[in-house]
Amino acid sequence: MSTTTDRALDGMPEVAERRKPRGTLWPTLRAIYIIWWRDVLRYWRDRTRLVASLAQPLLFLIVFGTGLSSALSGAGGGFAGPAAASAGLTYTQFIFPGIIGMSVLFSAIFGAMSIVWDREFGFLKEVLVAPIDRSAVAIGKSLGGATQAMVQGLILLVLAPVIGVKLTIGSVAALIPLVFVLAFALSSMGVAIASRMRSMQGFQVVMNFLMMPMFFLSGALFPLGGLPAWMTVLTRIDPAAYGMDPLRRVVLGGAGLPSAALDRIGLTIFDNVLPIVVEAAILLGFGVVMLLIAVRNFRVRD
């Protein structure tokens, strides 16, 4: 009898080991993928949203760009200097990268609206009580919004031949990671804000208050050089500016705009033009900080 008891006791650690709860790493990674895939699938199936989201960029590019391009045609390339004029750069071509960035900005931030929607309809509560780390919600939503915004921005590249911007394989290959970094930073910011919102109306008010200043101060519609001191400070603290400038330099540089003109209209810190790698690193760091804030909000609030 003692032998049987000893055998049973010897087997208990093994049974207890098998009954230990598994770690949450793999379920969390799977949850990140599912949340990301759910947002991408909803975006792909909503063709009306895909088409409607192109209306505003086209309005800015065709109406606004054409109108000001005609007004500036006799100004000797006044918006970017004689170097741009000698290269035949029009205002419509100048704002084309900024319109791509605008599409990314609006799509990324409004993509976070689904968090408020899911909270109101109870889906978010079901995810948060699942045996996964709550960081999965923030990461999955940020990556989902970034993917949607990146696709939305890259779709506008089909308009490049229409307005006379020549794209090369190298410039397109360089644009893809730059657009994604911009989309990730802005999507993470949207998720960080949406994680604190309880109503759709409140989120829309906050987003409208932030988006328009971010867009207009990013340099999407005008060069960032030669501005008044107070506006220069505002443009340098605008995270979107560090995404718009690389897009413009890659697109217009690949189209043949001289480096002197690019430096004139580019983003500078203490009169030094920032390398594209540095701008991308600043934007990526901003996105990571926003993502950490979103993770913390999900862990302590809901």
Domain boundaries, the chain: 26-300
Joined together, the tokens standing for residue 59 give 């309005």
Residue 200 has a pLDDT of 74
Please tell me the predicted confidence (pLDDT) of residue 256.
Answer: 66
Contact 90, 69 (CB under 8 A): yes
pLDDT tens sequence for the chain (302 residues): 444 444 443 444 443 344 334 556 787 888 888 888 988 888 887 777 777 777 778 787 777 777 766 666 554 445 555 545 545 677 788 888 889 998 898 888 877 777 877 776 666 666 766 667 778 888 998 999 999 999 988 888 888 888 888 888 888 898 999 999 999 999 999 888 888 877 777 777 887 788 888 888 888 888 887 788 888 888 889 999 999 988 988 888 766 666 666 767 777 787 788 888 999 999 999 999 999 998 888 877 55
Neighbours of 157 (CB within 10 A): 18
pTM value surpassing 0.85: no
Residue pair 274/268 in contact (Cβ under 8 Å)? The answer is: yes
pLDDT of 286: 95
* Torsional sign, CA 275, 277, 279, 282: negative
The token pair that represents 142 in the structure block: 């940020």
Amino acid 260: pLDDT: 66
